[in-house]
Homo-oligomer: A and B are copies of this chain.
Amino acid sequence: MNNHQNHPLFPIANPKSIAFYGASNNYGSMGTMLLASLLGGGYEGKVYPVHLKEDQVQGLKAYRTIQDVPEIPDLVIMILPNKVVCPIMEECGEKGIQHAIVVSGGFKEIGGIGIELEKELAEITERYGIKILGPNCIGISNPHHKMNPTPFPLEGPPGFIGIASQSGSFITQMINYLARLNIGFSTGFSIGNGLNTNLVDCLTYFADCPHTRVIALYVEGIPDGEEFIKVARAVSVKKPIVAYYIGGSEAGKRAGFSHTGSMAGPDELYDGMFRQAGIIRAHSISELFDFCWALGQLPKPRGNRVVILSHSGGPGASAADSCNRSGFEIAPLSEATQQKVAEYVPHTGSFNNPIDLTFFRQPQDFFKTIPNLVLEDPETDILMVYFLNPATMMARPMANYGITGEEAEKQIKDIFDNNCNMFAEVMNKHDKPIVGFSFRSLDEYLERNLIARGLPIFPDPQRAAAALGALQTYHHLRDQILADDSE
């Protein structure tokens, strides 16, 4: 077994067998919904529903008690009333179960009796050595293992963003959000009240997870800052970490406290902590995933000179302004490159930077020749490209030439495949960051396929520029940490 498989969270994210409490055949209940989601997602391990009365739950043989289950499951999942959790955990401990997800709320976040219950739960799990995710969480979503006992179904291919979150919503409800961008989670941990699994555990898990290229954190408050910085600093030089912290405003602090009982601190404190740890801070959910996308996909930029390629003036100008405001230089192309590029730019266009073709003469110019010329120039550090051409635009002239229906669809698909192949060649040839932006749906054929080839495409040039800014900042922080540590 390698490091990763030895990690205490590995059986929680990749269990071979699960005991499931709280699911029945009543489809109004949360527990039932979560089991239905797990089974619907194609989970391939064994599932043992435990139910006091039913013989079958959702088509599976049900067991009266955990003692009746014919093996020691890797994991137990509980969606039970808060007062039942402790005695059941005790039984699971006796059975020899080492890993648990407690979805149930009603612990320290509600105060009073909840605090007592959480203490008791801590005592039991410590006594039996049980690693527990929660309570008051949504658990885990690991699309690579088809392991998703969360309310929302898996969508799209498994991805490369590992997320650890103090909100379950930001795991399960974001599956659809990311799928619409054609990206996805490697694995998501909802830590809830964080009884004995916290953000730090997730960081060390992701550090060795082969599917994870970048780590996202949703943070309401970090109880042990020193430990967090130490671990995050070691992880962030291996994989970028982006944190969305909401506890720095008065309202965010209060909301986080009633949500997960988290103790927050002022922005300055967290900014300092993140900086020391090499972590990039995001200020919204969109930004969190935008930054993860860029950081998970792009190589280190050699400098801050961006070249913009467009076939529309306004989007090009808007990208130039946004890049400039994010700290990038949009310098005119070098004389030599200008001369080479000029050949492919119509007289109504511009080979200033942005390069604005105003229209395509040949797709090859836009998807291959010009990007190559620009990226071969040592004065180009980053390329940003505007994507626009929807299939509908090509269908009309074809229809007027009598090419319709399936034949038109096939021809358009071939053109897009060809464009995509040309551009993927460019991406592979140059070890420089390339990003796209588009105001169209990222689910259109060309965009979806470029994204699948590894190109981040953002829905606004300002977001593309901000994501490049995060990439730049990450590498500055990382270089600093590496320099400090080697002193």
State the A residues within 8 Å of B (CB): 25, 27-28, 30, 32-33, 36, 40, 58, 105-106, 110, 151-153, 165-170, 173-174, 176-177, 180, 218, 220, 244, 246-252, 254-256, 258-260, 283-287, 312-318, 320-325, 329-330, 347-348, 350, 352, 354, 356, 358-359, 388, 390, 392-393, 396-398, 400-401, 439-441, 459-463
A166 vs chain B, min Cβ distance (A): 7
Bound CA–CA A166/B321 (angstroms): 15
- Asked if A460 meets B254 with Cβ closer than 8 Å, knowing A27-B396, A248-B321, the reply is no
Whether the pair B439, A174 counts as a contact (CB closer than 8 A) is yes
Whether the pair A352, B258 counts as a contact (CB closer than 8 A) is yes
A81 vs chain B, min Cβ distance (A): 10
Which of A27, A258, A318 has its CB near the most chain B CB atoms (within 10 A)?
A: A318
**Among B36, B324, B440, contact of A249 (Cβ-Cβ < 8 Å):** B324
**Among B286, B329, B390, B397, contact of A176 (Cβ-Cβ < 8 Å):** B390
Whether the pair A255, B322 counts as a contact (CB closer than 8 A) is no
In the complex, which residues of chain B have a beta carbon less than 8 angstroms from the beta carbon of A170? 314-315
In the complex, which residues of chain B have a beta carbon less than 8 angstroms from the beta carbon of A440? 176-177
| Chain B residue at smallest Cβ distance from A152 | B393
The contact sample of 14 A-B pairs, CB cut-off 8 A, is A25-B400, A27-B396, A33-B397, A36-B396, A173-B439, A176-B441, A218-B314, A251-B321, A259-B314, A259-B316, A259-B317, A283-B462, A285-B460, A285-B461
Bound CA–CA A17/B173 (angstroms): 51
Whether the pair A153, B33 counts as a contact (CB closer than 8 A) is no
In the complex, which residues of chain B have a beta carbon less than 8 angstroms from the beta carbon of A167? 312-315, 317-318
| Chain B residue at smallest Cβ distance from A390 | B176
Which of A252, A329, A398, A400 has its CB near the most chain B CB atoms (within 10 A)?
A: A252
Bound CA–CA A325/B58 (angstroms): 46
Whether the pair B323, A251 counts as a contact (CB closer than 8 A) is yes
Bound CA–CA A40/B400 (angstroms): 12
In the complex, which residues of chain B have a beta carbon less than 8 angstroms from the beta carbon of A252? 317-318, 320-321, 324
Whether the pair A284, B461 counts as a contact (CB closer than 8 A) is yes
- Asked if A255 meets B400 with Cβ closer than 8 Å, knowing A30-B359, A286-B460, A439-B177, the reply is no
Using A246-B317, A283-B325 as known contacts, list a sample of 17 further A-B pairs with CB atoms less than 8 Å apart, ordered by residue number in A: A27-B396, A36-B397, A36-B400, A110-B348, A173-B388, A176-B440, A246-B318, A246-B321, A247-B321, A249-B320, A252-B324, A258-B356, A284-B461, A285-B318, A285-B460, A285-B461, A286-B459
Whether the pair B180, A441 counts as a contact (CB closer than 8 A) is yes
Whether the pair A401, B153 counts as a contact (CB closer than 8 A) is no
Whether the pair A169, B314 counts as a contact (CB closer than 8 A) is yes
Whether the pair B320, A401 counts as a contact (CB closer than 8 A) is no
In the complex, which residues of chain B have a beta carbon less than 8 angstroms from the beta carbon of A173? 312, 315, 388, 439
In the complex, which residues of chain B have a beta carbon less than 8 angstroms from the beta carbon of A287? 462
A380 vs chain B, min Cβ distance (A): 15
Bound CA–CA A363/B325 (angstroms): 45
| Chain B residue at smallest Cβ distance from A252 | B321
Bound CA–CA A153/B392 (angstroms): 9
- Asked if A255 meets B330 with Cβ closer than 8 Å, knowing A173-B388, A315-B169, A460-B284, the reply is yes
A164 vs chain B, min Cβ distance (A): 13
Which of A256, A317, A318 has its CB near the most chain B CB atoms (within 10 A)?
A: A317
Whether the pair A317, B27 counts as a contact (CB closer than 8 A) is no
